[in-house]
Structure 1
Amino acid sequence: MSERIELTLRSDLQHPFLVASAKELAGLAERVRAEPLASYYARMKDWLGEHAQSPLPHCPPGGLGSDFDPMIREVAQIALQAALAWWVEGDDRWLARASEALDNLAGWEYWRSPIHLPLPADLNTAMIGTDVALSYDLLYPRLDEALRQKIQEAILKHCVAFILPETVDRQWWSFAHDGNWSFVTLGGMGLAALAIWPERPEVRPAIETAAGHIQRSLDHIHPLGGWREGPGYAMYAMTHGQLFIDALAAAGDARLAEHPGPARLDDFFLFGMLAPGRPVYFGDCGATGGGGSLLYRRAACTRRGDLQQFADEHNSGGPLSILWRDPTIEPRKPYFDPPSRHFPQMDWVILRSDWGDPDGLVLATKAGTTAGGHQHPDCGTFLLAAYGRELVAEPGIGTYSRDYHRGRSPIKRSGTHNCLLFNGEEQVAREFKGGIVTQFVTQPGYDAVRMELAGAYECRDLEQWNRFFFLLRPDVVVLVDEVRTRNVGHYQYTGMTIEARIHTFCEILIRPFDAVFQRPGATLLVNTVLPPYCPGLGDHTSHYSIGEHEGFQTRHPDQKGAVQYLRIATECEKDPTVMVTLLVPGKDLADAEARRARVELEMRRRRRVEVYYAGRTLVLDWGNRRWQVYWNVIEGRLPKVLQATVGGPST
């Protein structure tokens, strides 16, 4: 059943109106003289110059071929960027080039990507529809009537036809309200329909249907923020959603502009940045970008200077950045207290040492499910960055293909993530399998996260895997893994092999008592302590060894060859088996070693771990099958004791 809602649409609209009015666009020439818009516009002009004289391609036979997507997207960008350049410079050669590109696009038989066959319309359709709509709207007063009619017919054929009340229910993406597909497809094709309103009044049902589905998608955004596909996909989805919402408000109906959904994601975009240019990229979320043009629009909507500054620092520009950046908003550094946050919708916890320190530590962790849209079987994995550089990494997203989406790629196996393997068995990729964050505690001196993760496996010998993350401010991470086997007495030998993997694109050096991840500007010491009865399974007497994944290429910008990981392995000889790993970053090896020297760690038999750091004591006690955390903060001569119980009794 269609989600169509009745709208109030003006019939006296004057183009342009989708993103800005003619009056607002008249100030573009002045605005692009100041940074950062001057740099954005210079890059755009360079790209346009490279494509100014190149012949425009035509649709391949049947809309097939690996070069279909890049060809049609290039033509669409030529149209949009040339249209914007015409508004800035008033040079008719840009008007002619944009008109040529629009005429070319209107003649393509298909706008959908061959990757998504047999779908008749897809994300690519929406992205081309968005660029065509914006270009058409910007140039409408100067387009001849024949070209206007041709573009309108193309929009009716490629976009409007698939979002009408009688046809939209046939498209699965119209009901994917908790993912990027619904926002992008309905937002992009709905924007294309709005572009030809009111000239073509028959598009009203399509606009109202798109609005209904976008409203449902906004309803799915959790009140505490977060997006299960990650910040990159959230940015992608909401960019198209925001364009439609704004255009709909300009057309006379502002109900979606008043919805709280978009504002719920604003903090998530800021928390979701791991390092400069590197968002938190669990699953298929890409490991680049993170400061998209959308943040300029969100800053303008909320008058938040931290969103403006974040976009200035992490954005690479583009037409929407030029159109959306409001110069009246004063940038300011992002700051949150407490600096860490749990996003319960997808069970991510992102820990940060201090928002005011650009060299501060960021630790991103996740539980969640092992399958679903753009998910990987990676419950319990984590990413770590310090000094603006990524130190603990993941392979990230691979090359999309049918085999990849069906889970046949090695990238979509838990062995290529920072998880545990039990007797060599990995997590099972099913939507009902996964882990859960059972408690998150944040205090001025430390953060603590407890996860229960055994539900992600089907290993018959595994009863429980609890993973704990402790961030001891300012710069020490304690990772604790507690493993219990099924139907085994407390002192009975189990023989189950436990293997932890920590991936990195740094150089790995194994030393007698620790491992070192090194890259220019940052180093990480990894020091794992096991109970004395747990044997090492690595080279010599150590439990460390280096593993490699060969034969696959990811989209991670740091990959130069085979993906390497630190392997930490032992046998579970008594219940429970506890592995404690210290992660200590530094600017270089000497700095990291100096920081590590200030940390003392003792494992008292197998019931108690004590960590001493910066005049504080962290005690982890799991006697009587209950974990407790004791945190003693020494202030002068008077101790202040904070106690937090992390998790309940094990079962």
Structure 2
Amino acid sequence: MNPLFSLLVCVTFLVLSKVGVQAQNNPIGPTTPLSAHPRILLRQGEEQAIRKTIAADNAWQNVHQAILAECDRMLAVAPVERIQIGRRLLDKSREALRRLFFLSYAWRMTRQPTYLQRAEKELLAVSAFSDWNPSHFLDVAEMTMAVAIGYDWLYNDLSPAARSAIKDAILKKGIEPSFDTRYNSWLKASHNWNQVCNAGMTYGALAISEDQPELARTVINRAIESVVLPMADYAPDGAYPEGYSYWGYGTSFNVMLISALEKAFGQDFGLSNQPGFLKTAGYLANMTGPSGNSFNYSDAGTGGSLQPAMFWFANKLKDPSLLWVERNRLLNSDAQSHVRDRLMPAIMLWSGGIRVNSIPEPKATVWVGEGKSPVALMRTSWTDPDALFVGLKAGSPSVNHAHMDVGSFVMEADGVRWAMDFGMQDYNSLESKGVKLWDKEQNSQRWQVYRYSNQVHNTLTVNNEAQRVNGNATITHASKKPPFMSAATNLTGLYEGSLASANRGIAIVDQAYVVVRDELETAAKNATVRWTMLTGATVNLTGRNRAELTKDGKKLILQVQEPADVTLKTWPTDPPHDYDAPNPGTQLVGFEVTMPANTKGNLTVMLIPEKAIQQATKPVLPLDKWPR
């Protein structure tokens, strides 16, 4: 290590230690023991426990075979090339991680030389890149993790020349740039970048620790101290601020970090005990509806996916019911459908010998979590594919990756998602056209992106204006009682200047239908309020205040109870800008009302599955009368 770099390491370490974001300073000391290779996630001889799990359960046998089959396909594929897309090399880093994790797993489980040889070829190819794109440090982090796993798991079988080249790449292209202040602002970030980057750097440090012991200790101690910043966002209840997809990113890499520390040092130095962190498994378990689709608010994809990290949580908490959704994904879909997940081999490491068929359903049907992005999640059953499911989001557009979707909801019945969310648009499709996507000021271009605006979410738009970026909504009260499962949120801050108060409540009534109620008070001027619901169903307006939605042979009635004189209408979802993504097969249904200044009014909408039409007769009470 050159003297200048050594000085930079020391200065950075001293500054971080002085900041003291965690009480325990320098948990890894010069005398802390470290095992021989392989030391990351899976030690020598621990393969046998995985083999026993595979032998005892066909579901695990199918996953194992799918990984091996994917490795067989990789054998004839050329190594990843350094092709950057816009500002990112990230897709190449992720593919390298997928290939090296898969191939390294296959080598350790089968000892077939073809897997070792193909992995070494990939390692040498990415190690020869000019750099791993430190200006977008996620790219470096994932590539470092990829190369570290391959280097550590294949260490004893790599040629000396290969070991030298790979080790040098981890040091020069992975770890050293993390001390450059041009690239390491993520050390002070409270979002997924911190989790992913600290995990990647820790893997690199563990991989080459015998050659760089002082540097490795510095990197690992830095990670333990820094990662508590984003982990604070899980408090108090585990609701992850950035939504479903970024839970799958930030939390999964946080678990990869903790799991590596546990394996290497026999402890995680208090990380898993950070407030709310272990509770986040309950959040993720409840975020998927009976259709298998997630509540995809903010920058999230439209579907759901197998989450290996949930097995780590279930083992840690000794609660297999957290795995009910993962159980269904393992049993009801082809294992081959999961092989695009670059962390998939981790599910075999964290399986804990559990029998997939024996995973029990959860007991609770309502989950409510406060935090930066509070959510309420309700369902009538875990086992009935036709069950009702509702997700309500509160929070603020100012949260990382948030949209103007505060007060928005999704709703399912009879296996159909009637009230939906577009979710995210590919970042490069916007950035490549000059959209300033990451500016979150009130009048920024971000909020002109069609999918990001409140006008296409299942919430309110007042006077055709955007929600207030700095507004914030909490869950004010909720009920878990089966006859009236409900949650309410105060949206007033999102409409400051337009409304004097705004409260929304959503309930599942008698396990049969859904009520959405808004209680509004105008400010010192008239307010035009638009109520919208985005749907992929066909909408037939059958009356001024009634619509029939049909999809997949199923029917839902949307009926406005108050105000009585509204006229329902539909709006197309054609994108207004050339940079907006197309939205085929979707439309908005809703209504507009103009409320005089300084008046109060209620908007009450019922969403009734066809089979529940005769049951939807109860009067809807004011929100302050809803059960707690």
With structure 1 as the length reference, what TM-score do the two structures score?
0.81
Look up the equivalent residue of 2:95 and give its one-letter code. Answer: E
Q: 2:203 aligns with which of 191, 206, 214?
A: 191
1:525 is the counterpart of 2:537? no
Asked which structure has the greater RCO (Cα within 8 Å, sep 6+), the reply is 2
The corresponding residue for 2:533 is 502
The corresponding residue for 2:601 is 577
Deviation, structure 1 residue 368: 0.9
The corresponding residue for 2:459 is 419
Look up the equivalent residue of 2:605 and give its one-letter code. Answer: T
Deviation, structure 1 residue 328: 3.9
1:487 is the counterpart of 2:524? yes
Q: Structure 1 residues 67, 168: CA separation in 2 closer, same or farther (over 3 Å shift)? A: closer
Q: Structure 1 residues 419, 308: CA separation in 2 closer, same or farther (over 3 Å shift)? A: closer
| Helix, strand or coil at the partner of 1:159 | helix
Look up the equivalent residue of 1:332 and give its one-letter code. Answer: I
Look up the equivalent residue of 1:381 and give its one-letter code. Answer: S
- Output the CA distance in 2 between the equivalents of 1:6 and 1:145: 33
The corresponding residue for 1:16 is 38
- Output the CA distance in 2 between the equivalents of 1:231 and 1:8: 33
- Output the CA distance in 1 between the equivalents of 2:550 and 2:586: 15
Q: 2:586 aligns with which of 538, 563, 577?
A: 563
1:6 is the counterpart of 2:7? no
- Output the CA distance in 1 between the equivalents of 2:410 and 2:85: 38
Q: How many residues align?
A: 575
1:323 is the counterpart of 2:349? yes
Deviation, structure 1 residue 146: 1.7
| Helix, strand or coil at the partner of 1:279 | coil
Alignment of 1:10-49 (within 5 A): 10-29=32-51, 31-33=53-55, 34-49=57-72
CA contact 1:163–1:186 (8 Å) conserved in 2: no
Deviation, structure 1 residue 472: 0.9
Question: What do the CA deviations read for 1:249-273 (whole angstroms, capped 9, x no partner)?
Answer: 2322514366323412111111222
Look up the equivalent residue of 1:120 and give its one-letter code. Answer: S
- Output the CA distance in 1 between the equivalents of 2:60 and 2:578: 35
1:443 is the counterpart of 2:475? no
CA contact 2:506–2:514 (8 Å) conserved in 1: yes
The corresponding residue for 1:471 is 508
The corresponding residue for 1:111 is 132
CA contact 1:448–1:468 (8 Å) conserved in 2: yes
Question: What do the CA deviations read for 1:574-616 (whole angstroms, capped 9, x no partner)?
Answer: 832222100112xxxxxx1x4112222xxxxxxxxxxx2xxxx
Q: Structure 1 residues 553, 136: CA separation in 2 closer, same or farther (over 3 Å shift)? A: farther
CA contact 2:449–2:580 (8 Å) conserved in 1: no
Unaligned runs of 5+ in 1: 113-118, 489-493, 537-541, 586-591, 601-611, 613-617, 622-626, 631-643, 647-651
- Output the CA distance in 2 between the equivalents of 1:285 and 1:313: 21
- Output the CA distance in 1 between the equivalents of 2:250 and 2:578: 26
CA contact 1:550–1:562 (8 Å) conserved in 2: no
Alignment of 1:156-235 (within 5 A): 156-164=171-179, 167=180, 171-177=184-190, 179-201=191-213, 202-235=215-248
- Output the CA distance in 2 between the equivalents of 1:256 and 1:358: 42
- Output the CA distance in 1 between the equivalents of 2:187 and 2:37: 28
Deviation, structure 1 residue 143: 0.9
Deviation, structure 1 residue 414: 0.8
1:256 is the counterpart of 2:272? no
| Helix, strand or coil at the partner of 1:218 | helix
| Helix, strand or coil at the partner of 1:549 | coil
Question: What do the CA deviations read for 1:65-118 (whole angstroms, capped 9, x no partner)?
Answer: 589443443344323222211222221111110001001111112223xxxxxx
Look up the equivalent residue of 1:502 and give its one-letter code. Answer: M
Q: Structure 1 residues 338, 277: CA separation in 2 closer, same or farther (over 3 Å shift)? A: closer
- Output the CA distance in 1 between the equivalents of 2:100 and 2:364: 45
- Output the CA distance in 1 between the equivalents of 2:353 and 2:576: 48
- Output the CA distance in 1 between the equivalents of 2:271 and 2:97: 31
Q: Structure 1 residues 140, 193: CA separation in 2 closer, same or farther (over 3 Å shift)? A: same
Q: Structure 1 residues 68, 225: CA separation in 2 closer, same or farther (over 3 Å shift)? A: closer
Q: 2:495 aligns with which of 446, 457, 467?
A: 457
Q: 1:55 aligns with which of 78, 83, 88?
A: 78
Q: 2:119 aligns with which of 87, 98, 102?
A: 98
Question: What do the CA deviations read for 1:25-50 (whole angstroms, capped 9, x no partner)?
Answer: 24545544543223223333343333
The corresponding residue for 1:640 is none
The corresponding residue for 2:9 is none
Q: Structure 1 residues 584, 619: CA separation in 2 closer, same or farther (over 3 Å shift)? A: closer
Look up the equivalent residue of 2:507 and give its one-letter code. Answer: F
The corresponding residue for 1:491 is none
| Helix, strand or coil at the partner of 2:378 | strand
Question: What do the CA deviations read for 1:533-552 (whole angstroms, capped 9, x no partner)?
Answer: x4x4xxxxx33334323367
CA contact 2:93–2:139 (8 Å) conserved in 1: no
Q: 1:354 aligns with which of 381, 394, 399?
A: 381
CA contact 2:391–2:410 (8 Å) conserved in 1: yes
Q: 1:390 aligns with which of 417, 420, 430?
A: 417
With structure 2 as the length reference, what TM-score do the two structures score?
0.84
Q: 1:299 aligns with which of 314, 323, 329?
A: 314
1:281 is the counterpart of 2:296? yes
Q: 1:544 aligns with which of 541, 546, 569?
A: 569
Q: 2:104 aligns with which of 80, 83, 89?
A: 83
Deviation, structure 1 residue 396: 0.8
| Helix, strand or coil at the partner of 2:45 | helix
Look up the equivalent residue of 1:480 and give its one-letter code. Answer: R
- Output the CA distance in 2 between the equivalents of 1:299 and 1:502: 35
- Output the CA distance in 2 between the equivalents of 1:281 and 1:240: 20
Higher helix share: 2
- Output the CA distance in 2 between the equivalents of 1:479 and 1:397: 25
1:598 is the counterpart of 2:615? yes
The corresponding residue for 1:641 is none
Q: Structure 1 residues 138, 551: CA separation in 2 closer, same or farther (over 3 Å shift)? A: farther
- Output the CA distance in 2 between the equivalents of 1:213 and 1:517: 49
- Output the CA distance in 2 between the equivalents of 1:151 and 1:555: 42
CA contact 2:455–2:461 (8 Å) conserved in 1: yes
The corresponding residue for 1:511 is 542
After superposing the two structures, state which structure 1 stretch, 348-357 or 546-555, moved more.
Answer: 546-555
- Output the CA distance in 2 between the equivalents of 1:373 and 1:293: 24
- Output the CA distance in 2 between the equivalents of 1:326 and 1:253: 17
Question: What do the CA deviations read for 1:341-389 (whole angstroms, capped 9, x no partner)?
Answer: 2434422122222345443211111121122310111211111122343
Look up the equivalent residue of 1:147 and give its one-letter code. Answer: A
Deviation, structure 1 residue 573: 5.0
After superposing the two structures, state which structure 1 stretch, 81-90 or 245-254, moved more.
Answer: 245-254
- Output the CA distance in 2 between the equivalents of 1:381 and 1:395: 12
Q: Structure 1 residues 229, 76: CA separation in 2 closer, same or farther (over 3 Å shift)? A: closer
RMSD (Å) for aligned C-alpha atoms: 2.9
Unaligned runs of 5+ in 2: 1-14, 331-337, 440-445
